[in-house]
């Protein structure tokens, strides 16, 4: 005989059906998910049209994803979920982490330290010099450093398919002193993509889409936690209202403006340029 379920009994029935889930963690997560989803529906008295709108919204979110655009990550970012998961999962003691963002591209070829990663993009020159150490300050050699950032108009290379790729992104290895460096251009604040479902959500909630200017870093080394972070530009107008809630005080740094002339690596510039000196500390895994 078919069993009928009411508003008050359906949740326990679904959880009971999952009782044979062999993996304990999967069972724990799914049980909590069902419990909270059902409680949300009851608390808000969710209507059928609202439920269908949500299904359609999530469907369009998936359909918007491509090899170079991750709308689900963007949705997670703008709802603050990405930063919440980040805070829960990363220990303190090293450089603070933050969100990955939707514009990361893996498998960019390793370049020599000191390389120029602009690939034809124009803007104010910027030299980045850094050292990677453990939390005790011991340099970490051969750490893999992946970097990416926007141009001076706020666009990433993956948003400009008509231009050469990759640009303003690169991969480096730290030397025996844990150091790496590269040349690029000074980034600008920018709006996250608003032509998809996430943009509709921001518009509906009267939120702006802007992120403060920053450079992304992903640093990996054996026996250490992988670090995913940004370094933000001091004085940016959106530091206090980042659309994805990713700013942390320790990650805000001055990109010093330097006069025309020689740079620390011997290069001579005929106009003012920017210098970012910021070191990273990795936590043992």
Class of domain 81-282: mainly beta
Mean pLDDT of 121-149: 97
Give the SS3 label for residue 270: coil
Residues 126, 215: Cα–Cα separation, whole Å: 11
Give the pLDDT score at 93.
85
Find the helix packing angle between 71-78 and 197-204, rounded to 10°.
20
Give the pLDDT score at 244.
97
Give the pLDDT score at 2.
55
Contact 231, 253 (CB under 8 A): yes
Q: Locate CATH 2.60.130.10 in the chain.
A: 81-282
Of residues 116, 156, 260, the one with CA closest to residue 274: 260
- 91-119: per-residue pLDDT in tens? 678 999 999 988 899 999 999 999 999 99
Q: Average pLDDT of the chain?
A: 95
Confidence of residue 183 (pLDDT cuts 50, 70, 90): very high
Confidence of residue 23 (pLDDT cuts 50, 70, 90): very high
Give the pLDDT score at 4.
80
Give the SS3 label for residue 275: strand
Residues 192, 200: Cα–Cα separation, whole Å: 12
Residues 206, 194: Cα–Cα separation, whole Å: 13
Give the pLDDT score at 76.
96
Taking 60 as the threshold, does the pLDDT of residue 267 lie above it? yes
Taking 60 as the threshold, does the pLDDT of residue 1 lie above it? no
Give the pLDDT score at 101.
85
230 DSSP β-pair partners = 216
Residues 133, 139: Cα–Cα separation, whole Å: 4
Mean pLDDT of 68-93: 91
Of residues 117, 95, 89, 121, the one with CA closest to residue 105: 117
Confidence of residue 43 (pLDDT cuts 50, 70, 90): very high
Kindly state the percentage of the chain with pLDDT values over 70.
99
- 204-247: per-residue pLDDT in tens? 999 999 999 999 999 999 999 999 999 999 999 999 999 999 99
């Amino acid at each position: 005989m078919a069993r009928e379920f009411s508003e008050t009994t359906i949740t326990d029935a679904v959880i009971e059906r999952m009782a044979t889930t062999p993996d304990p963690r999967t069972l724990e997560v799914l049980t909590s998910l069902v419990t909270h989803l059902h409680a949300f529906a009851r608390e808000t008295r969710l209507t059928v049209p609202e439920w269908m709108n949500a299904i359609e919204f999530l469907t369009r979110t998936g359909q918007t994803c491509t090899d170079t655009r991750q709308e689900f990550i963007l949705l997670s970012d703008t709802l603050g979920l990405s930063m919440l998961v980040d805070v829960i999962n990363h220990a303190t003691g090293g450089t603070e982490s933050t969100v990955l963002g939707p514009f990361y591209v893996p498998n960019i070829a390793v370049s020599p330290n000191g390389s120029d990663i602009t690939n034809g993009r124009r803007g104010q020159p910027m030299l980045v010099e850094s050292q990677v150490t453990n939390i005790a300050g011991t340099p970490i050699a051969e750490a893999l450093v992946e970097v990416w950032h926007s141009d001076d108009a706020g666009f990433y290379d993956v948003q400009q398919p008509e231009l050469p790729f990759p640009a303003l992104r690169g991969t480096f290895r730290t030397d025996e002193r844990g150091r790496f460096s590269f040349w690029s251009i000074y980034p600008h604040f920018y709006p996250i993509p608003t032509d998809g479902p996430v943009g509709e959500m921001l518009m509906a909630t009267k939120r702006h889409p802007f992120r403060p200017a920053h450079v992304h870093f992903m640093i990996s080394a054996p026996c250490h936690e992988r670090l995913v972070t940004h370094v933000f530009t001091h004085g940016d107008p959106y530091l206090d209202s980042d659309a994805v809630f990713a700013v942390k005080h320790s990650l805000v740094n001055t990109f010093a403006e330097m006069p025309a002339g020689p740079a620390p690596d011997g290069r001579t510039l005929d106009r003012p340029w920017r210098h970012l000196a910021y070191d990273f500390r990795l936590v043992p895994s």
